Structures are given as C-alpha cells and as structure tokens.
Structure 1
Amino acid sequence: MSPEPARTNPPEPDALRLGMVAGETSGDLLASLLLQGLKARWPALTAGGIGGPKMVALGFDAWWPAEKLSLFGYVDVLMNYRELVGIRNALGDRLIAGRPDVFIGVDAPDFNFGLERRLKQAGIKTVHFVCPSIWAWRPERVETIKASADHVLCLFPFEPELLHAHGIPATYVGHPLAQVIPLEPDRAAARGALNLPETAQVVALLPGSRRSEIKLIAPRVLAAAAILHRQRAGLRFVLPVAPGMRALVEPLLERHAPGVPIDLLDGRSHDALAACDVTIVASGTATLEAALYKRPMVITYVVGWFNALRMKRLRLQPWAGLPNVLCREFVVPELIQEDATPDALARATIEWLDDEARRETVRVRFNELHHLLRRDTVRESADAIAQVVKA
C-alpha cells in the first residue's frame, strides 16, 4: 500500500485498500479470520500495517511484526515507550499518506486508539474490532473509543447496548472463534496429530504468549506441572509456544519442571485444547478458546505489583476469566496473583480430573455459550465495514 494522493471516489466493487494493526498471537488469529471474510467480499483487497504470521500468510503486508505490541501493563509500556511511539507515528504518517479506504484496529487498545484518533481526524474511516472491556474495568475509556472509532465490532452480545448509550455506533458480530472451533471437537484426531496416547490423561499448559506472561506466569504453571507429575506419573503435558518465545520457555522448563513429560508445541494451541482433559490457562482469549473446546480449566494470572494495585482499584466485577464473565458466575476456578501458587494450581487441576460429573456440567454450560457466540462473524463484520466505507 504505497503512498498516493487522497481519492474521493468509492473503492471498486472487488477492491478495498485496508490499513490494519493486530498485536500478539490472539490479535493475529482474529485479524486473519476477518481478512478471510473481507477477501471473500473484496477479492482484490490489499492490506498493510502491523500483523503476525497468520495475516502474512493471507497476503498481508506487515510493515512491523505483531510481536512489537506484545506488552502488558505500564511497566512494559514505559520500558518500550519511545520505540512504540516511534512506530505509531511512522505508521500514522504512512497511512495518512496512503489514504486507505478504512483502518481496522484489532484489539491492542493502548496502541490502536491513539492511532485511530489521529487517522479519524485526518478523515480516514476507522473501525475497532474487539470492544475494550469497559464492563470489567476502566469505564472512562468510553470517551476514548468515541473519539477514535467510527464503528466498533463487538464480540459479545451485551456490548453494543453499552456503546450505543454513549452515541458510539457498534455491531454485535459474535466471536469468530465460535465459528471456527467445531461444536464437537475431535479429541482422538487431536491426540493422533500430537502423538498422544488415547488413554492418557493430558493437561494443556497455556501460560500466555506475552514476554511478561512467560516471565511471571510460566514458572508457576511449570512448577504446578512438576507437582502433578510427582503425584500422578502417568499424566502427559502439552505446552503451545508462541512464535519467537521458545528461547524464553525452554530455560524455564529446565529450571521448574526438569524431567516432566512436557511436549513443547510450535503454536498449535487449538490442537492442545482439543486433545487435553483439563488446561491451566492464563486469563485472556485462550480461556474463551478453552471454553469453546468444552474443556474444564484453571484460570490464572499474575502481573507486577504496580499493575496489580491499579487493576484491583479499577476493577468493576469479581470475575477475570472470559468464561466466568460471560456466564456471570464462577463456573471455573480463578487463581490470580498471590493465590496462583503451584500447589493451588495443581490441586485445582486434580479436582477437575477426579470429578467426571463436574466436567460434564461445565461441558454443557460451555456448549450453551458456544451457541450464543456462534454467528457468521466474518460476513456480519464485512457488512458493517462496508457501511462504514460508504458513509
């Protein structure tokens, strides 16, 4: 998408020039699903900005890799502030010069909203995909959303009403993962693909894909796996590793879980979730993926002390994990901050493995949730984006 003069004519019927930013593994996945739908509607679509390998595989022109945005909390952002601001300014300059038909920011609100506001002020249409969790914390963000996005694509059914109350156009499009993940996951096929015995009990370890998550959460999760291995030697473990993070994970494996049968997977988190009996998972999109695979889980999260104090002060509801938020109750346990000890994580995992009736109850609950979120997300998103482009 090379710079060219602004144009006033609408795009050709099969063409759309798109600017896009997606950070982290989850954003790359969501953006790639959206790109597939947009390409079906506009076959000659071109797109550039910040993205990950799944987007690049669809022809996306990644001017910077998505890993640049794999940060969490003020400490991480402050340490990388100058670089992030430099990237955002350079990206904004390039997009304003190139004048895409529309810009789509996929999640990454701390980065995207500032960029979207600048583009909107320059007369470029902006869409934000994934409503920030203003219903969970930081409700003041609604004014930032209003100043930044011409339209918000919402993953959850209760979000558009919240935004409409503040005069923000929004559309519930369902969660694209609910369309991609089958209603009845094939556990046997997933185990075959991962060379796991059909009769073994399998625990999937998903400590997060950010560097800060690997640093703070992975040691506790791996130590919990070591405890579980000592208690039940027959357990098998799988740990999906995000692109570029294997070098961080392998030393932690040697330090906290030596001799434990943990298979490191390059990505393949969906195979891991389909194959497992239970997962220990960091709060975030992965918890929703686990719910869509109908898997019982132990949700955990750990941040630095400063972020923990701030989030506790601004928190609006008792739940952290998306499955509990959507069900409005603690259907799965959450072990956050000081509660996230290896012993507690291991104990909660054993409780799932030993209670078949409880596993069946949560499977039924997650099946209902899956149907609620299962919409034709890419088509409905494309319809909403088409209306923004025409406006």
Structure 2
Amino acid sequence: MSLNIGMVAGEPSGDLLAARVMRGIAAGAEPGRCQGIGGPAMLEQGFEMWHPMSALSVFGYVDALKSLPRLMHTYLDVKRRWMRHAPDVFVGVDAPDFNLRLELQLRQAGVPTVHFVGPSIWAWRYERIHKIRAAVSHMLVLFPFEVAIYEKEGVPVTYVGHPLAEIIPMQPDRAGVRARLGLDPGARILALMPGSRASEIKLLAPRFLQAVQRLQVQDPALQVLVPMVNAQRRDEFQAWVRQYPVANLRMLEQSSLAHRPASWDALEAADAVLVASGTATLEAALFKRPMVISYVLSPAMRRLMAWKSGQKGPLVPWVGLPNVLLNDFAVPELLQDDATPEKLAQASWKALTDAEHTAGITKRFTQLHETLWRDTPALAAQVIISQARQGAAR
C-alpha cells in the first residue's frame, strides 16, 4: 500500500528539509507518494509538484501585500484538490502563515496534519499556540527546548534534531575548503554575512564594510569572504563596496558542490564571522566559528513588528540562535544603535585573534552540535507514516 502524502514547502530551506524527509519515508516499509508545493530538491526525490515553492516566496510585509492575489490563488487551488481527494496525511514544512491556515482546514476535514519546524513562539507571538493546537495533529521540532513548550500546551510533539547538524561535518575541514577556493592556508579570514534580503544589505552592509576598514588598519592582510545568495544581492552589496572599499574582498556565489550553499564555503574557510541574525548564525555555530551577531531594523519595520506581535521585543534576551540554544551570551550581539562600525570591529577583532575565546567557543559549539544531531529523516518519517496510517484507516 502506498500512502498519499500532501506536502507544502515554501522556501529553499524547507525544500531541503522536505527532501530529506521524503528520503526517510521512501526508506520505510510503506513508501508514500508526495504531492503539493515544493522545490527542486523535492522533485529529485519524486515529488509531484502542483505549484513551485516560488509561488509562496515573499520578502517582507510589503511584498506579501503585493503577492496576496497569487498566494490566495495557490492556497485555494491546493485546498480544493485536497478537499476533493483527501491525503492520508498533510505535512506543512515551515511557512507557518500559509501552512497553519491550510492545516486547520484539512484537520477539520479529518486529515491528520504534521507541522515540521515549530514557529518561534518562544521569541515572538506566543499567542499563535492556540492556532497551532487547533491546526496541528503532531508537531516536529528542531530544538530540544521546544518540546516542553508544546507538551505544556497539549500539542503532541517530537524532537527530531536539526538536519543541518547531520549535514555539516562535526570536524570542519578549513584547510580543504581553502585549497579548493585557492585561498592562502595561513591567511586570517573573516566571513562577512550581511543577510539575504535587500533591507538587510541596505542596513548592515555599510556598517559591516566600515568595520572591515577598521580591522584592516590593524591587519592590512585580512581576507574577507562574502557569500551571495543571488545576483541581485551581489549587485546591491557591490554598490556599498564602491562607497566603502576594502582590500582582499572576495564574493562567493553558489558552491561547485551540489546543494552546498556558498555560505558554507565562507564559514568553513573563515577564522571568524560577522553575521546578520538568522539561520546563518546556527550554521556558523555548527562550523564551530567564533562570531559577532548583528541586526538593524528600520524604524518603520520596528513599529510594524511591534504592532503585529504585540511586543516591543523578543520574549528571550537573545536574538542569535546559538545564544538562545546555549541559554547564554556565548557570542556578542550588537543590535540597532549598538551596531556601530567601531563596536563591530572591536568584537570581530576579538573573535579573530583571541585564541582562548576561540577554544572555549569551539568546545561549546561542538557540544551544541552533538545535542542537535539526530537521524532527522528517519525520526520525522516515523511520525508522518504513523499519522498517515491513522488517516488511511479513517
């Protein structure tokens, strides 16, 4: 018997997560047919794509408003299909605004629903737990501390580990990636990661580049690697480089290795990282790199986030995932008015040169990596197949 599994992944990270879960499902005793919204990695695993994940791609609140007709058309189409021919289980991968709404409709129609990657209710908008409780039959979470939150709220939950912890090597090969990129094996290298959105480049790139200018006064030979997610971000960043030029800067685009982002090459080659808050901070931690985390929101965006969340700030004292997971300011966070070129340069110099600090961070990040490493595809597949069996028997 082949199980019929509905699935929606709305962005590249979700595409990779879903593809790994599909491999776990295929390895089970009852392989399933997966269909819905996804990306190229899912297609490689035999996914039946009704809409590409680009149909759900939005960048910020303004883009979301402009994209509303397209989003509604996509939503109504997949909802109609699944209401007409119900899947045995539905799996929503991240994209909570889209997936939780769809999960609620399907669950009310009797379809078991699994949501993979819990929304960060521990930081913003805890009230979403009520929507989750109504919409989700079983939650799959990436971080161990999330289990207690969902158990307390009566939502069935399984910790499946973070798939990045399985993919990123426990022992990074700095020498190997430097050789592949043609970098000096003995150079001092800073990875500069100002974000993947236009607003992040606009607000962080000039500060980061001015910080590098100060660092290169102390070490004129300092090498700088800047991974770029696409040509548009590259052009936006390059415009800031012309205004704040630095020496020995190299922009990296897609790695020559399949499914390996350019950011991983930069992180593995670097001695330290100056990084925008986000998933890249966790990647830096898994590569065991000392880092400085920064972020700046425009006044308008701060007001919009406060209005939407009902909060002036996050519910935890940290914004960087490594600090959240370690429950400590293990690495510095320079946010808003503190994100000055001078402060960024001072903190980055310590990350680059303080051997004792680096040794301590390496130890803590190794322990974190071990905590997050699980057989994510198999664990997720077990829950999904169990829910699908219940759905098939209804």
Q: TM-score, normalised by structure 1?
A: 0.87
CA shift for structure 1 position 88:
2.0
Amino acid at match of 2:388: V
Following superposition of structure 1 onto structure 2, how do residues 229-378 of structure 1 map, counting pairs within 5 Å? Answer: 229=216, 231-242=218-229, 245-256=230-241, 257-258=244-245, 260=247, 261-266=249-254, 267-309=261-303, 310=306, 313=312, 315-378=314-377
Secondary structure of the residue aligned to 1:199 is: coil
Aligned equivalents of 1:332, 1:148: Cα separation in 2? 36
* 2:180 paired residue number: 193
Q: 1:112 to 1:222 in 2, by over 3 A?
A: farther
Aligned equivalents of 1:250, 1:241: Cα separation in 2? 10
Following superposition of structure 1 onto structure 2, how do residues 115-134 of structure 1 map, counting pairs within 5 Å? Answer: 115-134=102-121
Query: Is the Cα–Cα contact under 8 Å of residues 25 and 385 in structure 2 kept in the other structure?
Result: no
Aligned equivalents of 2:383, 2:371: Cα separation in 1? 20
Q: 1:337 to 1:89 in 2, by over 3 A?
A: farther
For the aligned residues, what is the CA RMSD?
A: 2.4
Aligned equivalents of 1:132, 1:59: Cα separation in 2? 27
Following superposition of structure 1 onto structure 2, how do residues 39-188 of structure 1 map, counting pairs within 5 Å? Answer: 39-41=26-28, 45-71=32-58, 73-188=60-175
Q: 1:291 to 1:254 in 2, by over 3 A?
A: same
Further displaced range: 15-24 or 312-321? 15-24
Between the aligned residues of both structures, percent identity stands at 47
Aligned equivalents of 2:29, 2:221: Cα separation in 1? 51
Amino acid at match of 1:292: L
Aligned equivalents of 2:40, 2:190: Cα separation in 1? 27
CA shift for structure 1 position 68:
4.5
Query: Is the Cα–Cα contact under 8 Å of residues 138 and 314 in structure 1 kept in the other structure?
Result: no
CA deviations over 1:235-272 (Å, ceiling 9, x no partner) = 22222222xx3123224213335464222222332222
Secondary structure of the residue aligned to 1:86 is: helix
Query: Is the Cα–Cα contact under 8 Å of residues 15 and 39 in structure 2 kept in the other structure?
Result: yes
Q: 1:268 to 1:58 in 2, by over 3 A?
A: farther
Query: Is the Cα–Cα contact under 8 Å of residues 160 and 172 in structure 1 kept in the other structure?
Result: yes
Gaps in structure 1 of 5+ consecutive residues: 1-11
Confirm or deny that 1:32 pairs with 2:14: no
* 2:193 paired residue number: 206
Secondary structure of the residue aligned to 1:363 is: helix
- Per chain length, whose mean CA-contact separation is higher, i.e. which structure has more relative contact order (CA < 8 Å, sep 6+)? 2
Amino acid at match of 1:101: D
CA shift for structure 1 position 343:
3.5
Secondary structure of the residue aligned to 2:27 is: helix
CA deviations over 1:90-129 (Å, ceiling 9, x no partner) = 2322333443322211112122211211222233221111
Query: Is the Cα–Cα contact under 8 Å of residues 91 and 114 in structure 2 kept in the other structure?
Result: yes
Amino acid at match of 1:265: E
Q: 1:39 to 1:111 in 2, by over 3 A?
A: same
Aligned equivalents of 2:72, 2:206: Cα separation in 1? 31
CA deviations over 1:22-71 (Å, ceiling 9, x no partner) = 23333233223222222222685432333333333333344444344444
CA deviations over 1:361-386 (Å, ceiling 9, x no partner) = 11101111111111121111111112
Aligned equivalents of 1:338, 1:73: Cα separation in 2? 22
Query: Is the Cα–Cα contact under 8 Å of residues 136 and 317 in structure 1 kept in the other structure?
Result: yes
Aligned equivalents of 1:180, 1:91: Cα separation in 2? 31
Aligned equivalents of 1:47, 1:225: Cα separation in 2? 47
CA shift for structure 1 position 215:
4.3
Amino acid at match of 1:22: A
Secondary structure of the residue aligned to 1:203 is: strand
